[in-house]
A and B are shown apart, each in its own frame.
Chain A
Amino acid sequence: MLKELIDGIFWDIALIVFLAGIVWNLLAVFTRGIKKDLAVPRGSGLVGAVMTNVRRFYPHHEIAPRIRFQVVSGYLFHVGLLVLLFFARPHVEFVKDISGVGWTPVPDWIFNLAYEIAFAGLLLLLLYRLLSPVTRLISRTDSYVGSILVLLVMFSGCLAMLESFEGLRLFHRFMVELLMIYFPFSSLMHAFLFIPSRGYSGAMFGRRGVDI
């Protein structure tokens, strides 16, 4: 019964909420809009928007030494997570089952490596959040809930992969469904909204002729 719920209606609800929530968030930002900039531009806003999206993947060298811990941990987590999400064998098979589209998954040793660096990155970030006076002050409930949910998803996924029995697979899927429902209503939306966020700033500075 639980299997039918988790593989069935819960998945459908989670998917609808996830996709509708992302679209709703993006529409909310773009329909709210911004006023047209009437100042005579010095450069291109479009180029600024695109280039800032690219440039913000690496920090300015002036600030890099001060934020090395956050940047390295952040990349460990995000790169590891991307490998797990898109190239773990069960995920590739899952997508092929529902869509017919498949690609080559990573071998198990890469899966293990990706899991370890993603887990290490997330734990380091959580540790930093708990220990730094700055992040302790500015973090909110959402900052911790999102991180813990992702941690549970990754942990349960790794266990399911290693032990490979149905109960663990269902637990992992259920954690994923909870995350998908939580996602659009949380700061996890930065996964999509970082693009317009960087873009708006990049466009403004691009018009002023400043590379940011």
Chain B
Amino acid sequence: MSTALERGVETLKGQIDGRVMSYFSSCVSCGICAEACLFYTETGDPRYTPIYKTEPLRKVWRQNYTFWGKLTRSLGLSKPMTEADLADWEVLVYDGCTMCGRCTMVCPVGIDIAYLIRKVKEGMAAAGFVPDDLLKAGERALEFGSPMGLTAKSLRSAVTAQEKEIGMTIPVDVEGAEYLCMLSANEVVAFSEYIGSLAKIFAAAGISWTLSSEYFEATNTGIQIGDSGIAAELIGRAVAVAEKLKVKTLISPECGHAYTTIRWDAPNILGRPLPFKVMQIMEVLDQLRAEGKLKTTGSFNERLTYHDPCNISRRGGVLKQPRDLLNLVAPNFVEMRDHGSMNWCCGGGGGVSSNERADPLRLKVFDVKKRQLDELDVTTMVTACSNCRNMLDDGLEANDMDIEVIGITELVASHLAER
């Protein structure tokens, strides 16, 4: 066994906790998880069955923690893990899984398969089986603080442009502000109107907030790669900046995995509770709405629907807030048939859209979203994740569908009442 492979196997062993043991012991190979996974339903390829994607971890569990596994291993009858195995599973795990967790919702014995995939990725990363594009994104994140290589200069450019656009000053590096807004790289380069929208909303609500030029990136390539070391380093930088600026609340932006990382994973990765509150931007906006600080006027009358970003809704718990916000400004808001915690993934999350090798596959699995939209006959789709937004734009373009995709913060901001 090569050193790298050995490292991968040892890392997988270290991932096995009580949850993993209960999951693998309960699995009866019913295959129901496949019926919830867009990578299976849209390709018909049984290799994309979610529980099948966890096979490297299951193999290590079986050979080290079960009676038959230990017996067959001691008698030399079991097949050890090989590099070829991990190479095969690299495609399944990184190209064919967004860790959306829809499979988790349907497993009769309650297996959280997305949790297992996260652990499989730790072993894959330790053994060196990660798509090159993701590795490079990780390197850029560590060097520049952003997977796209953006720097403080990039942020300042976007901020300056938005200040001119909206005619307001956008606070950066303000110590003692109540809220620190993190951003995803996409919002800086492609959807910077998000920054302007925040400024307008927070000014109208009268709350203090700031961006940080020292570290602004909310996304975490370490989570996408499955490298806890990188994940911890990036989270540590975000937390350090929030502590330095002495904010009470860190706001996670329109990005799915960024939210689960900073809200739910960060304290566990760092090994300590966070000294500030973490809220997703929609939670903040809805709180302002409930407090009467978010006043809107007019409405967006086009027939529109909402795409739930999986890691904000299903795995993050922010389900009601987008609906409350949309009901403020969108009288023709209609739900997709499968929505909320049972939404269908866009197909691009968890690093899939950063992995060029996965492009044909993610565009193929967009068919499920296409069918959802064809049923509704909408002109607009609103979402709360810039990565979903990119994926949805790509899918709509590939299918010649004339539907506009907009961010929910931008939609709300465009209907703010005059102060």
A interface with B by C-beta (< 8 Å): 25, 28-35, 37-40, 42-43, 52-53, 56, 59-60, 62-63, 66-67, 70, 74, 129, 132-140, 142-143, 184-185, 187, 189-190, 193-194, 196-202, 204-205, 208-212
Contacts of A138 in B (CB 8 A): 29, 31, 46, 49, 51-52
Q: Is B109 an interface residue (CB 8 A)?
A: yes
Also in contact, A197 and B40, with CB within 8 A (given A135-B29, A137-B49, A212-B105): no
Question: Contact between A210 and B317 (Cβ–Cβ < 8 Å)?
Answer: yes
Question: Contact between A202 and B28 (Cβ–Cβ < 8 Å)?
Answer: no
Question: Contact between B46 and A137 (Cβ–Cβ < 8 Å)?
Answer: yes
Shortest Cβ distance from A73 into chain B, in angstroms? 10
User: Which of B17, B106, B110 contacts A60 (CB under 8 A)?
Assistant: B106
Residue of B nearest to A138 (CB): B29
Question: Contact between B32 and A198 (Cβ–Cβ < 8 Å)?
Answer: no
Residue of B nearest to A187 (CB): B28
Question: Contact between A32 and B21 (Cβ–Cβ < 8 Å)?
Answer: yes
Contacts of A134 in B (CB 8 A): 31, 34, 40, 46, 49
Interface members, chain B 1-40 (any A CB < 8 Å): 16-19, 21-23, 25-32, 34-36, 40
Q: Is B206 an interface residue (CB 8 A)?
A: no
User: Which of B65, B106, B109 contacts A190 (CB under 8 A)?
Assistant: B109
Shortest Cβ distance from A54 into chain B, in angstroms? 11
Residue of B nearest to A36 (CB): B268
A40→B342 CA distance, assembly (Å) = 24
A187→B69 CA distance, assembly (Å) = 13
Contacts of A208 in B (CB 8 A): 264, 315-317
A199→B204 CA distance, assembly (Å) = 44
User: Which of A135, A194, A200, A209 contacts B19 (CB under 8 A)?
Assistant: A200
Contacts of A35 in B (CB 8 A): 17, 268
| Interface of chain A, main secondary structure | helix
**0 or 1 for each of B51-93: is its CB under 8 Å from A? (1 = yes):** 1100000000000011110000000000000000000000000
Question: Contact between A194 and B110 (Cβ–Cβ < 8 Å)?
Answer: yes
User: Which of A40, A56, A132 contacts B273 (CB under 8 A)?
Assistant: A40
Question: Contact between A135 and B110 (Cβ–Cβ < 8 Å)?
Answer: no
Question: Contact between B272 and A197 (Cβ–Cβ < 8 Å)?
Answer: no
Residue of A nearest to B110 (CB): A198
Question: Contact between B17 and A25 (Cβ–Cβ < 8 Å)?
Answer: no
B interface with A by C-beta (< 8 Å): 16-19, 21-23, 25-32, 34-36, 40, 46-47, 49, 51-52, 65-68, 104-112, 115, 263-268, 271-273, 277, 314-317, 319, 337-338, 341-342
Residue of A nearest to B69 (CB): A185
Question: Contact between B65 and A28 (Cβ–Cβ < 8 Å)?
Answer: yes
Nearest 5 pairs of A and B residues by beta carbon: A198-B110, A38-B267, A134-B31, A209-B317, A208-B317
Contacts of A202 in B (CB 8 A): 110
Question: Contact between A197 and B109 (Cβ–Cβ < 8 Å)?
Answer: yes
Also in contact, A197 and B110, with CB within 8 A (given A38-B268, A38-B272): yes
Shortest Cβ distance from A32 into chain B, in angstroms? 4
Question: Contact between A185 and B110 (Cβ–Cβ < 8 Å)?
Answer: no
A80→B286 CA distance, assembly (Å) = 50
Contacts of B106 in A (CB 8 A): 59-60, 63, 67
Residue of A nearest to B338 (CB): A62
